[in-house]
C-alpha cells in the first residue's frame, strides 16, 4: 500500500483489516504517532515511515517478525524501544536525521542486518555489543558526537563501508575488518596516524581523512597496499614521506589546504601522477631510504615479501597470493628478525605452516583468515607469546579437535 507524499496526520486502526500487506509506504506525511494496530500486519516486509513527525515508535511495530526493511529517517525520534531487537529478519534499518542520543543494546540482536544508518543524530557512544552485527556491510554513524569506537566493531567481518564523518574522534579506529574498503573519517579531531591502526586496513581502497589535524604521515603508510584514493584535504601536513610513492594502487591523492613545504605549488596542481613521480625521484636521491621503502623484493621463487616491514614493524605478510603453501624463502627472509605479527590471510592454505614455530619466542599475532584450513595444528601451542589468532572464514569442521589442540 502506497500512501506517501500526502498530508496524513493520522493512520486509522482499520489498517488491521489488511493483514496480507507486505509493503506499507507512509513516507513524507505529517504523522506524529502510529496505531498499535500496525502490529497485526504480520506479513509486512517493508515499512517506510521517513519524513514524518514521529516522536516514538510503538512497541507493536517490533512484533513484525517478517519485516525486512524499516526506514525512519527525518523524524523526531528521541529514543527507541528495547524490543527493536525482536525484528530478527531485518536487513535494512535507517534511523538517520532524528534526535537519538543512544540506541538500544538489543540492536545487536538484528543479526541479519546488512545496512545500518545512524547518521545525523546526537549519539555519543555506540553499544559495546554492536560488533555482533556480523552481516552488516554498510554502517553510517556520521554527524554524531562520537569520541570513540567500541573495540567490538572489529568483529564486523562483513563490513565494507564505514562512515564516521563529523564526529569527535581523536584517533584512527583500530578496525581489523578484512572486507573494509571505504573508510570516511573527515571532520574529526585526528592528529596522527598510528602504525597499529594502519596495519589493520588490509583491504582499504578509499580513506578519507579530510578536515582533521594530522601533522605528518608515517613511513608505514606503505602498509596500505590496496589504497586507491587518499583524501588529506585541510590538515596540518607540512612534509610528505617519499614512501608514499610506493603505494602500488594509489590513483588519487588530495592535499589541498595543507601547509606543505618543499613541494612547488604548481606540482600540486598537476595531479596525483606528477606528485607521485616527484616523490619517487626523491627515493632515488636517497638510496638508503629507497632500500627501506621498496614495497617488496623478488625471491628466487618469485614470492614477494616486504623486508622493510619485517625489519621495522616486525611484520611478516604474505597475504592475498592464493597459494597453497608459504614458500620457504618467505620464512628465510624473516629469520632472526623477532617477528611479532604474521599475516597469511586470503590464500589457499589447507594446513597451518609448520615453520611458524620458528617464531615461537616472539610471535604474538597470527592471521590465517580466509584460507582452507579444516583443523588447527597442535604446533600452535608452541607459540609461547601468542595472544591473538584469526582463523575466521575457514572450513573448520571439527570444533572439538580444534579445541583439544588449543588446550
DSSP run (H or E) holding 162? strand 161-163
A 10 A CB-CB count for 262 gives 8
Q: Fold match between 13-287 and 297-406?
A: yes
Vertex 120 angle, CA 115 and 121, to 5°: 100
- 3-state SS assignment for residue 301: coil
What Å distances lie between residue 385 and 326, 359, 381, CA to CA? Answer: 22, 9, 10
CATH number at 297-406: 3.80.10.10
pLDDT in tens, the chain (407 residues): 887 888 889 999 999 999 999 999 999 999 999 999 999 999 999 999 999 999 999 999 999 999 999 999 999 999 999 999 999 999 999 999 999 999 999 999 999 999 999 999 999 999 999 999 999 999 999 999 999 999 888 889 999 999 999 999 999 888 887 899 999 999 999 999 988 888 889 999 999 999 999 999 988 888 899 999 999 999 999 999 888 998 999 999 999 999 988 787 778 788 899 889 888 887 765 544 444 444 443 343 335 678 778 887 888 989 888 888 999 888 888 888 888 888 999 899 998 998 988 988 898 888 988 888 888 878 788 888 888 888 888 888 754 444 444 44
Question: In a 3-state reduction of DSSP, which class is residue 99?
Answer: coil
Q: Are the C-beta atoms of residues 149 and 172 closer than 8 Å to each other?
A: no
Q: CA dist 107 to 58, 64, 101, 131, 374, Å?
A: 16, 15, 14, 10, 33
Q: Which residues pair with 207 in a beta bridge?
A: 183, 230
Q: Where are the domains of the chain?
A: 13-287, 297-406
Helix (H) or strand (E) holding 23: strand 23-25
* CATH numeric code, 13-287: 3.80.10.10
- Supply the DSSP string of 349-402, one letter for each residue: -SS--GGGGGGTTT--EEE--SS---S--GGGGG-TT--EEE--SS----HHHH
Burial category of 49 from C-beta neighbours within 10 Å (exposed 0-12, middle 13-18, buried 19 and up): buried
Amino acid at each position: 500500500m502506497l500512501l506517501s507524499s500526502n498530508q496524513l496526520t493520522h493512520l486509522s486502526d482499520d489498517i488491521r483489516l489488511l493483514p496480507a500487506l507486505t509493503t506499507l509506504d507512509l513516507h513524507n506525511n505529517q504523522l506524529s504517532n502510529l496505531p498499535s494496530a500496525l502490529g497485526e500486519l504480520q506479513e509486512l516486509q517493508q515499512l517506510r515511515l521517513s519524513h514524518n513527525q514521529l516522536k516514538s515508535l510503538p512497541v507493536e511495530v517490533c512484533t513484525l517478525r517478517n519485516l525486512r526493511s524499516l526506514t525512519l529517517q527525518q523524524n523526531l525520534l528521541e529514543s527507541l524501544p528495547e524490543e527493536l531487537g525482536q525484528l530478527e529478519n531485518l536487513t535494512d534499518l535507517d534511523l538517520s536525521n532524528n534526535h537519538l542520543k543512544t540506541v538500544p543494546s538489543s540492536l545487536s540482536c538484528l543479526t541479519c542486518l546488512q545496512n545500518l544508518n545512524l547518521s545525523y543524530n546526537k549519539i555519543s557512544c555506540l553499544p559495546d555489543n554492536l560488533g555482533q552485527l556480523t552481516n552488516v556491510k554498510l554502517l553510517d554513524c556520521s554527524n554524531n558526537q562520537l569520541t570513540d569506537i567500541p573495540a567490538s566493531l572489529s568483529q564486523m567481518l562483513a563490513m565494507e563501508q564505514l562512515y564516521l564523518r563529523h564526529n569527535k574522534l581523536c584517533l584512527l579506529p583500530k578496525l581489523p575488518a578484512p572486507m573494509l574498503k571505504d573508510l570516511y573519517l573527515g571532520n574529526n579531531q585526528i592528529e596522527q596516524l598510528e602504525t597499529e591502526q594502519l596495519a589493520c586496513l588490509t583491504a582499504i581502497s578509499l580513506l578519507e581523512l579530510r578536515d582533521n589535524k594530522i601533522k605528518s604521515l608515517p613511513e608505514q603508510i606503505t602498509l596500505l597496499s590496496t589504497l586507491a584514493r587518499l583524501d588529506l584535504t585541510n590538515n596540518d601536513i607540512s612534509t610528505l614521506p617519499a614512501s608514499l610513492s610506493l603505494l602500488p594502487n594509489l590513483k588519487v591523492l588530495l592535499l589541498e589546504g595543507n601547509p606543505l613545504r618543499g613541494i612547488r605549488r604548481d606540482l600540486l596542481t598537476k595531479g596525483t601522477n606528477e606528485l607521485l613521480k616527484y616523490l619517487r625521484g626523491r627515493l632515488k636521491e636517497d638510496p638508503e631510504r629507497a632500500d627501506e621503502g621498496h614495497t617488496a623484493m623478488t625471491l628466487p621463487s618469485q614470492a614477494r615479501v616486504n623486508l622493510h616491514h619485517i625489519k621495522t614493524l616486525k611484520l611478516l605478510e604474505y597475504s592475498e597470493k592464493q597459494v597453497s603453501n608459504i614458500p620457504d624463502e618467505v620464512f628465510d627472509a624473516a629469520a632472526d628478525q623477532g617477528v611479532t605479527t604474521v599475516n597469511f590471510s586470503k590464500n589457499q592454505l589447507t594446513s597451518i605452516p609448520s615453520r611458524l614455530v620458528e617464531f615461537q619466542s616472539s610471535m604474538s599475532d597470527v592471521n590465517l583468515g580466509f584460507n582452507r584450513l579444516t583443523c588447527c595444528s597442535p604446533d600452535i601451542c608452541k607459540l609461547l607469546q601468542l595472544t591473538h589468532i584469526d582463523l575466521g572464514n575457514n572450513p573448520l569442521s571439527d570444533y572439538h579437535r580444534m579445541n583439544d589442540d588449543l588446550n
